[in-house]
Each structure stands twice: as structure tokens, then as C-alpha cells.
């Protein structure tokens, strides 16, 4: 087995150089979700539960956005290993067209049928009426977010990871300020409540999109080639569909599964408390995973570029295993730190700030402990699926390993425990984590097999 990771001087410095901007980008993005949740929580538990339910179908669209940009990343990172800027432009053109079409369909559905969609998500019609104004506008924000995320993915694939951090950092600051003005009606603006949160997000996403357009026209690393972008050609369309469609379907199905899990919580006897607690803890758990998402993205860029450079099978395999072991170590350190914060910070300070008391606080505690304890497993799964396997073009196996544990084990068990047996919050919290407990060893088995390494750029004209 190759020791390629040790043969390159400054290897781990390179990993952190790529990871840190993406870690900060994810921290900024997830902080926005936490800030949104905090501001809406000040309106009351029912308003927060309504926004949580409204974000359930929106999360499916978020997952598709991630799938489209991940599909682009598979091709762009390997083309970058060959310094083939024209084909990066072609891949970017296909991804942009596809992403725009998908996001517009969702946005129009959310706009014209918000109450009907909301009624499917919980057993409380009053939550549908509260969340409908939010859902009506939030869909259009994801149209602009889709386009900006695709361009950020292209820049990340050419090792310009700091670009996304700067763009999303600006939009987060803008969104936070607009939230304050439009939710609570400050500085002469109307108090729009949950609808104000959606409008604030829409305006900030449009601003980040405008920045991406300007930067794309001025970029010297990947100059925008209008001919390649607007006419990518059948070969690139076929190549993108072959390697990205499983990823997009994977993320859409995974996002749908995560939404089903939220719907399950929305049909429990204590649905308002459960949804409110899940909204807060979900954001806290994602905050604890920002480093892991950054390492996963960096892993994909490094592995993809290494394959594109024509490195040997053993070198790619050894590099990938080193990155996986490093991710497991980092995830374990994060889990220990996060668990230590539960009794000293989250329970006595954070939960009351978000208006979580009594039953809501007990549910939040159970969800937090179970979620933080599984961070090492989640970190490995993220790095394996979104980093190693996809970068190696092994998209079919990545899809199977990502979805089978969720749909065949995690969701059925959660529904059984929460709705049929109606057990308490601790069994429900544990059932929700079964997915990652199964996924991680399966992913490691596939990586160790070495059958996942494919050069997806071969024979491109």
C-alpha cells in the first residue's frame, strides 16, 4: 500500500489549507440557520415548529443543490488535474442549466401550493397556516442559491476554496441584518414574522448570486468561456448525466429521507415540542460537523485531482485511507468536546435562549447526546460518500451505501419507535442515529476494496 500522503512534504498543511475556507464557509452557512432559528424562536414554539415543518420540503431542494454541485465537482476536480479549463466551463454550463430547471420547478410549487404542502408535514393545520407565508417565498431564494452554489463548487474544484467562504460570509451577514429588520419590524420596516425571515433569505441569496456573476466574468483562474458554457456539447452532457445523475438522485432521495424523519416527528403526540427541539438540536449538530464537511470537500478535491493527474492505483488508495483515518480522528475529538458542552452550556444556557423548557428541553437533550456521540461515524460517512467515492467516479456504490442504511433501517426503525411503540425521546433519538452506525463500516469496506477508482475524464475530445 502506498504511503503517498507521507511522500508529499506539507501534505496535512495542504489538507488544512483546502479545508479551512470550506470549514469557515460551512460555519457561516450553518450559523445562518442557527441565527434564523433563534430569531424565529423568539416569536414562540409554534412559529418555530411551523418554520421547521416548512423547511422540510425545502431541505429536499437543498439536498438537490448539493447533488448538482457535487456532480460538477466530480468532473471539475479531475479536469483541473489535467488543467483543462475548457471542459470545466462545459461541465459548469450543463450543471447551471440543469440546476436552474430543477430549482424553478420547486420554487413554483412552493409558491402556488404552500398550505397544501404544509398539511402533509404535520398533524397540526395551524402550523400549516403559520408556515405557508415562509414556504411561499423561500423557494425562490433557492433558485439563486442553486446558481451561486454551482459556481462556488467550480471554484472549490480548482482549489480556490476561499471564494465560497467570502461569498456566503457576506450573504450571511446581510441575511442576519435583514432578519432583524423584517421579522421584528425595526427601523421603520413592517414586522412580518416568519414571512420576513423568508424575504430576508431571498434578498441575501440574490445578492450572493450577483457577486458570483461579477466574479465569473472577471475570473483569471477559470476564465468564463461563453462558447463552452452555452454550448457544452453532447459528450459533456452525456458525461455529466452519467456521473452526476446518480449523485443528484442520491441527494434528492437522502434529503427526502431526512424530511420523512422530520415528518415522523411531526406526527408524534408531542409534535410541537418535538419539532421545536429538533430544529434547535439539528442546527447545533450541523455546527459540530462543519469541520467534517470541510474535510470531506477537501478530500474530494484532493482525490479527484490525484486521479486526474494519472497517479497509480496504489497511490490513490493509500491517499484515500490516510484521509479517512485523519477524518475519524478529527470527528472523535469534536464528539468529545460537544458532549462535554451538553450539561455545562446547552442545557442550562442555550436551550432556554431558544425557549425550550420542560418537555422540549428533555427532548432536545436526548437528541443532542445521541447526535454528538455519533459525530465520528457521521464524519467518516461524509468523507467516504461525498469525498472519496464520488471523487473516484464510484457514484453508483456511493448512492447505494448512502441510501440503503437510511431507507431500509433508519427510517423504519424511527417510525416504529416513535409512532407505533410510542416510546420516549431517548429511544427515538437513538433510532435516528442507526443510519450512520450502519453506513460507516459499509463505506470503509468499499474503499478498502479499491474498486472505486475511475478516471471519468478519459477519452474526452
320-343 pLDDT per residue, tens? 999 999 999 999 999 999 999 999
| Site of grid cell 420554487 | 107
What per-residue confidence (pLDDT) applies to 10? 72
Is the pLDDT at 418 greater than 60, yes or no? yes
All cell numbers assigned to 133:
407565508
Which of the four pLDDT bands, split at 50, 70 and 90, describes residue 366? very high
Report, as an integer, the average pLDDT of 155-177. Answer: 87
Asked if residue 4 has pLDDT above 50, the reply is: no
354 versus 206: the higher-pLDDT residue is: 206
- Owner of C-alpha cell 470503509: 444
How high is the pLDDT of residue 73? 85
pLDDT on residue 23? 84
Asked if the model's pLDDT at residue 254 lies above 50, the reply is yes
Q: Which of 127-131, 236-240, 430-434, 445-449 has the lowest mean pLDDT?
A: 127-131
Distances (CA, A) of 9 to 6, 45, 81, 170, 316: 7, 53, 19, 34, 17
Evaluate if residue 256 carries a pLDDT over 80.
Answer: yes
Report the range of poorest mean pLDDT among 80-84, 109-113, 348-352: 80-84
pLDDT digits (tens, 9 = 90+) for 368-380: 999 999 999 999 9
The per-residue pLDDT of the chain, averaged, comes to 88
Per-residue pLDDT band for 58 (boundaries 50, 70, 90) equals confident
pLDDT in tens, 130-142: 888 888 998 899 8
Residue with cell 440543469: 98
Amino acid at each position: 500500500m502506498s504511503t503517498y500522503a507521507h511522500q508529499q512534504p506539507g501534505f496535512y498543511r495542504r489538507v488544512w489549507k483546502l479545508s479551512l475556507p470550506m470549514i469557515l464557509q460551512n460555519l457561516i452557512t450553518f450559523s445562518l440557520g442557527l441565527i434564523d432559528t433563534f430569531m424565529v424562536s423568539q416569536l414562540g414554539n409554534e412559529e418555530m415548529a411551523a418554520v421547521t415543518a416548512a423547511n422540510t420540503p425545502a431541505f429536499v431542494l437543498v439536498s438537490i443543490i448539493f447533488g448538482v454541485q457535487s456532480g460538477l465537482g466530480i468532473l471539475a476536480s479531475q479536469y483541473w488535474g489535467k488543467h483543462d479549463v475548457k471542459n470545466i466551463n462545459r461541465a459548469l454550463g450543463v450543471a447551471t442549466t440543469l440546476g436552474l430547471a430543477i430549482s424553478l420547478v420547486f420554487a413554483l410549487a412552493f409558491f402556488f401550493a404552500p398550505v397544501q404542502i404544509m398539511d402533509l408535514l404535520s398533524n397540526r393545520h395551524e402550523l400549516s397556516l403559520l408556515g405557508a407565508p415562509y414556504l411561499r417565498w423561500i423557494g425562490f431564494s433557492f433558485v439563486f442559491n442553486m446558481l451561486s452554489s454551482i459556481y462556488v463548487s467550480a471554484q472549490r474544484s480548482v482549489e480556490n476554496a476561499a471564494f465560497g467562504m467570502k461569498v456566503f460570509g457576506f450573504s450571511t451577514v446581510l441575511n442576519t441584518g435583514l432578519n432583524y429588520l423584517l421579522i421584528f419590524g425595526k427601523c421603520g420596516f413592517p414586522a412580518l414574522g416568519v414571512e420576513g425571515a423568508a424575504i430576508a433569505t431571498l434578498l441575501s441569496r440574490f445578492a450572493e448570486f450577483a457577486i458570483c456573476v461579477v466574479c465569473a466574468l472577471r475570473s483569471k483562474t477559470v476564465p468564463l468561456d461563453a462558447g463552452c458554457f452555452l454550448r457544452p456539447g453532447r459528450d459533456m452532457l452525456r458525461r455529466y448525466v452519467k456521473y452526476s445523475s446518480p449523485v443528484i438522485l442520491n441527494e434528492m432521495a437522502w434529503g427526502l429521507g431526512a424530511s420523512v424523519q422530520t415528518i415522523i416527528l411531526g406526527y408524534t403526540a408531542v409534535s410541537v415540542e418535538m419539532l421545536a427541539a429538533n430544529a434547535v438540536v439539528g442546527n447545533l449538530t450541523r455546527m459540530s460537523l462543519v469541520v467534517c464537511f470541510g474535510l470531506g470537500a477537501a478530500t474530494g478535491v484532493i482525490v479527484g485531482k490525484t486521479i486526474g493527474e494519472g497517479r497509480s492505483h496504489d497511490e490513490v488508495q493509500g491517499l484515500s485511507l490516510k484521509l479517512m483515518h485523519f477524518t475519524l480522528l478529527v470527528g472523535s475529538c469534536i464528539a468529545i468536546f460537544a458532549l462535554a458542552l451538553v450539561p455545562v452550556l446547552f442545557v442550562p444556557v442555550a436551550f432556554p435562549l431558544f425557549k425550550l423548557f420542560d418537555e422540549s428541553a428533555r427532548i432536545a437533550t436526548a437528541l443532542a447526546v445521541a447526535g454528538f456521540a455519533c459525530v465520528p461515524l457521521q464524519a467518516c460517512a461524509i468523507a467516504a460518500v461525498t469525498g472519496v467515492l464520488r471523487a473516484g467516479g464510484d457514484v453508483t456504490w456511493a448512492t447505494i451505501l448512502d441510501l440503503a442504511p437510511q431507507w431500509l433501517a433508519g427510517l423504519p426503525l424511527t417510525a416504529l419507535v416513535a409512532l407505533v411503540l410510542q416510546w420516549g425521546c431517548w429511544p427515538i433519538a437513538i433510532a435516528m442515529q442507526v443510519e450512520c452506525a450502519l453506513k460507516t463500516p459499509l463505506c470503509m469496506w468499499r474503499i478498502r476494496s479499491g474498486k472505486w477508482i475511475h478516471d471519468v475524464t478519459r477519452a474526452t475530445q
